Structure 1
Amino acid sequence: MDPQAEGSRGRLLQQNQDEGEDQKDRRRESEDIDAIESQSKPLLTPVQTHDSIDVYEGTEEEEPPKDSVKWWKRPSILMLLPPFILYAIALGAAAVPRVNLVLTLVCQDYLNRKEREVNNGDFTPIKLVIGVDNPECEIPEIGAKAATFTLYMNIITGILSAMTSPRLGQYSDRIGRRKLLIFGSLGACLSDATLILCLKYSDHLSYWWLLLASTFEGMVGAFTLILAVVHSYASDCTTFAKRSSAFSLFHGCLFFGIAVGPAIGGFVIEKTNDIAVVFCGVIAIHGLFISYILFFLPESLSKEKMKLAKEKFAEERRKSADSSTWLSSFMKIVNVFEPLNVLWPKEGGNLTKLRANMVLLAAIDFIMFGVGFGSITVILLYSKVEFHWTTKFASYYTSFVNASRVIGLFVILPTLTKFFRRKPPPGTPAGGCDYLDTLIIRGALTTEVLGTLFFVAARDTPLFMAGGIVASFGGLGSPTIQSSLTKHSPSEKTGQLLGVIALLHSLARVIGPTVFNGIYSKTAKTYPQAVFIVLVALFMVAWLGAWFITPHVAVDGVGDEAVERLFAEERGELDESEPLVGRN
């Protein structure tokens, strides 16, 4: 071969190799920039979202351009808050009538069976007034049957929701948040319509048809999926620094609805003497919610974001199909716990710390939600037996505790975020949760422990109520935990991640009531405070776990040295003479 030609060929190969290295460097630099910008910009991109509407994308310090679209056409948490408040009120308004409906229908069936046995099948069906107190139903046998049937309803809803929530959450990353919000609300409408049918035709339909309402509710993921999709929408619209405040607003609205809704429902029943009116009103609210989402709420995900999520999902499916058999593929579909893999990332840097943080945060949230949901019934039963609370006084206590929680979420958490959260220096990569997040989580768990200890020690109403108020400020933990989790995951997996949290919440709403009601029933005669000691032990486990959360873990493993600098700066260990990260 000609030496000159061979030399030219070698130079050409070297040039191509250099160009390849340059492309890799540019791609790596682009990934670093994307990760850095996620600290100061929302997850929205400066591209078209839907219906050819341009969405402004800017930093917190920048002002939108004069020719930007109108504010009502831009995705914002303020656009979603009003309909979500209505949804929360509807959720609260239906809670007490639903329990009353179950108790009365079970009681009616029980009394009819007894009447049939006494008269050898010749009897006139008993028609109880649903929505008022029926003295005939205040016997242990009926109470036990109603409690067991309510547990069946919770199990069906919880299991189905656990199966559907993570997949629907992941689906929202590919088709947008609005469609999933509409789908979830339609399922709630079907559930409430089934309750109305069972109420109106109780002579022809057994109360076991109420399980169909639980089935409809579980198939759409129940309220846990709605909350997860709402949080996904908020994640799309907010920066890392403001995400916990955004989540706290939605949690505050949820507890506000739970506090105000029952009072509205009770007022309607008192004026109409018809419990069906409440469920019809709830369906009407869902109709307003769906109409608002359909015609007014802008989509938070851009077409490019959804396209990227679809491409990554298709790539994962191809890899899975290449390396698995039909049996393993089928098992992945039916395996409820398979979506939990999102908490155990397989790529990127800092995998050990990243995985530990995600698992710890999810476990702490599971404990807090499970204890909170599962202990409600126990607390009300305990107070009625030990302190002889009336239903009216118990309602006041519930409203008071929820009001304290709302104050914490609407006032305390946003104030802490505004005055104590430091802006990341220019050039800092996306670094997971920060010191303020970890302090809020530990503080929330501390108040839960103290409040529950008050329950153990209380022998009168004032101390018991004080325990409830102290424990209510533990509500600051859940939005902070969930926002922290989103900081450990790529933006295209936000819906999938929060869908997994909905899965854990669905399991918790089954496990929590079953365990705590069982403990209380076994110890009510000997030592009724035993269940609260178990609650303290669980909160202490979560509190200890919170101390192993590592702040500033880079999401994609980029810029680890910059993260360590920020870590040292917050501890006051950074030499002030050195230039800040990212400044040239």
Structure 2
Amino acid sequence: MASPTDRRPTDASETDALLGPGPSSPSSDSRRKDSWDGNDDFVGLPWTQRPSVYWLIGPYALFTLAFGGVIVPKLNLIIDLICRGYLADREHQGFTVLPVIPGGDNPQCQIPAVQRSVATFSLAINVVVGSLSAFTAPRLGALSDRYGRKGIMVISSCGGLVGEIITIFAAKYPDLIHYNWLIGAAVFDGLAGSFTAGSVVSHSYTSDCTPPSRRSVSFGYMHACLFAGMAFGPLLSGYFVAWTGDLVSIFYVSLGCHLVFITYILVVLPESLSARRQNIAREKYAKEQEAYDAEIRAEELSERVEEAAGRRTPRWVPVEWAHKATTRVRRSNPLAPLKILLPKGIEHKKVRRNLLVLATIDTTLLAAAMSMGGVTLLYSEYMFHWGNFETSAFISMVSMVRVFVLMGIFPIINYIFRVRPAARQRRISGEEPRETNTGADRLDVWLIRSAILSDVLGVVGYIFARTPSVFVISGIVTAFGGLGSATIQSSLTKHVPPERVGQLLGAIGLLHSVSRVIAPILFNGLYAATIGSYPQAVFVLLACVFASVSVLSFLIRPFVFMSEDADEAVSEDTSRRAREQQNEILAEDDVVPHI
């Protein structure tokens, strides 16, 4: 028998229609509390104060352009600064060297010593940003549940703002400000959550103001902005640097983008979380902290009672300090945000499985996308002798197909399989169906499986492609895999109550940050090791990974969700058990030392 929190709206099987009666059936509405009431909090307000994903699409596109537009210029700047320092040292040793022209062709920098230093320095920056954002992004996501999305968006952009200021000063005054200050810029960026936190909170905003039936499409719009920014940002920045003749100019543009984004968020964007929903999230957080504090106090009290009764000798002072330090570390465990993927209780068994499977698939897809972009370009240049124009055209075309799929095909699929059936049911019943979070529906599940299949087919095409045309067609096939990430992240938000969306996406952001550090080392290292013997080896590994993920996707079950009532019950039960444990300990002895 299904548990209350894992119950399905119907007992239909996977062979039934994609949606079935689902959440809009009268019987299912009567069986559970409505868990999506985003529109109710803003009824009666003017349209300028009602949150919508359309308020965010333009600024988010600007945010992604600012992030993607400086990737290549910043790498070139690092090369110039490191090369300048290296050649200056050589000049002091009596060698004659050519001056380094910022942003220009500097063949004197294309030497192993400089390239090695650049690779090491770039890795250090990536590790700093990835490590710090892995710690801060999930906490900022959870904080946005309690205090609103707008402030956290501003914080995440302020990190990039400070980073661009440091970069500009390092580029303009290299004799005064050493290039190692760029690591300081990475520290500020990472502490503010970097791009990961901005993406997490933006998707949380989208989830807040979009009903479940349209959430996948809205997430698709956000992912389309992301892919467009990452693809066209470097292209536009290249043209801009060529037009101005100044490499530093693009960093001024990025600085301006951050300022415009921050101003827009503060002045124009309506907050998506009402005061009521923020208060609900704060109350739940307070209960969780109270329960956790009660567990810690019960543990400490148990130790003191045992010492007083002579059942345990007191710890040596340094050991006691170490024990207290361990307790504090446990409370600030960097992996603690992942606990939302493992909700407690036997009644959440199916929810746990779905959350873990979806998080694993999403992290794998993102890790592959973040790490394989550069490898794919290097491989295409090596195999087909492409130049800058051909590789840029390939990336732009694949990105355009991906954007078209997300903004053109995806809404049509959603209209056919979700909007039209809902409209038909509304005409038959004469009532407006009430939308609630009911987990991923069958359309979500099959979209995820289809997207992963397109990734598998495209990567297999890369393995066997020996002509540019086959390689390009394979790239177009992989572009349809863009449906996967958008559908997965929207499906994740349907598994938890609204006041936990930021916390959930923050945990996903932690996994993303870690994957940004580990995956490039794995794939780039394999490509470097096999380029001379079998350059397709990296694609073979990727195909195996995608095939495994495809099998994993068949573990996802539709219409599984965590109800608000059960979530509150688990929190209250934890607090109650901690209090009972405390009382049992106090009753254990007649003599209890005063604390």
Following the alignment from structure 1 to structure 2, what is the Cα–Cα distance between the partners of residues 160 and 36? 39
Partner of residue 402, structure 1: 399
Report the AA paired with residue 105 of structure 2. Answer: D
Q: Contact between 1:486 and 1:494, CA under 8 Å: does it hold in 2?
A: yes
What corresponds to 1:77 in structure 2?
Answer: 53
Correspondence for 2:328: 330
Q: Give the direction of change, closer, same or farther, for the CA distance of 1:139–1:469 in structure 2 (3 Å limit).
A: farther
Q: What secondary structure sits across from 2:369 in the alignment?
A: helix
Higher RCO (C-alpha 8 Å, min separation 6): 2
Q: Normalization by structure 2: what TM-score?
A: 0.81
Match of 1:370 among 360, 367, 372: 367
Displacement of 1:127 in angstroms is 4.1
For residues 271-309 of structure 1, the C-alpha deviation after alignment (integer angstroms, 9 at most, x for no partner) is 211111111111111111111111111110010111111
Offset of 1:36 from its aligned partner? 5.2
Is it true that 1:451 corresponds to 2:427 in the alignment?
Answer: no
Aligned residue number for residue 573 of structure 1: none
Corresponding residue number in structure 2 for 1:221: 193
1:152, distance to aligned residue in structure 2 (A): 1.2
Residue 35 of structure 1: how far off its partner (Å) = 4.9
Task: Indicate conservation of the 8 Å contact 1:87/1:289, yes or no.
Answer: yes
Please say if residues 29 and 434 of structure 2, whose CA atoms lie closer than 8 Å, have aligned partners that are also in contact. Answer: no
Letter of the structure 1 residue corresponding to residue 57 of structure 2: L
Structure 1 residues 182, 34: CA separation in 2 closer, same or farther (over 3 Å shift)?
farther
Deviation for aligned residue 1:92: 2.3
Cα offset, 1:197, TM superposition: 1.2
1:18 matched residue in structure 2: none
**Could you list the runs of 5+ residues in structure 2 that have no partner in the other structure?**
1-27, 301-323, 426-432, 567-595
Which of 244, 248, 255 is the equivalent residue of 2:220?
248
Alpha carbons 2:211, 2:435 under 8 Å: kept: no
CA distance in 1, matches of 2:99, 2:59: 38
Whether 1:281 and 2:253 are equivalent positions in the alignment is yes
- Partner of 1:16 in structure 2? none
How does the TM-score come out when normalised to structure 1? 0.82
Residues 474-530 of structure 1 deviation map (CA, whole Å, 9 limit, x = unaligned): 111001001101111111101100111111111111011111111111111111111
The answer to whether 1:508 aligns with 2:484 is no
Structure 2 residue matching 1:323: 3-state secondary structure: helix
Aligned pair partner of 1:414 in 411, 414, 419: 411
Q: Greater shift after overlay, 425-434 or 90-99?
A: 425-434
Q: Is the 8 A contact 1:43 1:235 kept in 2?
A: no
Q: CA deviation at 1:334?
A: 3.8
Structure 1 runs not aligned, ≥5 long: 1-30, 48-54, 57-67, 560-584
Distance 1:382 1:419, change over 3 A: same
Query: Is 2:38 aligned against 1:44?
Result: yes
Q: CA RMSD for the aligned pairs? A: 2.3
1:374–1:516 CA contact under 8 A, matched in 2: yes
Comparing 109-118 with 474-483, greater Cα deviation is found at 109-118
Report the CA distance between 1:333 and its aligned residue: 4.3
2:592 aligns with none
Q: In the alignment, which residue of structure 1 is the partner of 2:318?
A: none
1:417 deviation in Å?
1.0
Matched, 1:345 2:317: no
Q: CA deviation at 1:412?
A: 1.5
Distance verdict in 2 for CA 1:365–1:342, change over 3 Å: same
293, 309, 316: which one aligns with 2:288: 316
Q: Deviations over 1:47-93 (max 9, x none)?
A: 4xxxxxxx11xxxxxxxxxxx33211111111111211211222222
Q: Is the 8 A contact 1:371 1:535 kept in 2?
A: yes
Cα shift at 1:33: 6.0
Equivalent pairs: percent with the same residue? 39
Q: Which residue of the other structure, out of 279, 286, 293, is the alignment partner of 1:307? A: 279
Q: Secondary structure at the match of 1:547?
A: helix
Match of 1:13 in 2: none
For residues 334-392 of structure 1, the C-alpha deviation after alignment (integer angstroms, 9 at most, x for no partner) is: 4221110000111583x121100000000000100001101112111212222221122
Alpha-carbon deviations, 1:84-133, whole Å to 9, x = none? 121122222212211211222222222223333345xxx88x64122222
Secondary structure of the structure 1 residue equivalent to 2:34: helix
CA–CA separation in structure 1 for the residues paired with 2:477 and 2:497? 36
Q: Which amino acid aligns with 2:407?
A: F
Q: Does 1:361 align with 2:337?
A: no
Task: Compute the displacement of 1:439 (Å).
Answer: 0.7
Q: What's the offset of the Cα at 1:408?
A: 1.1
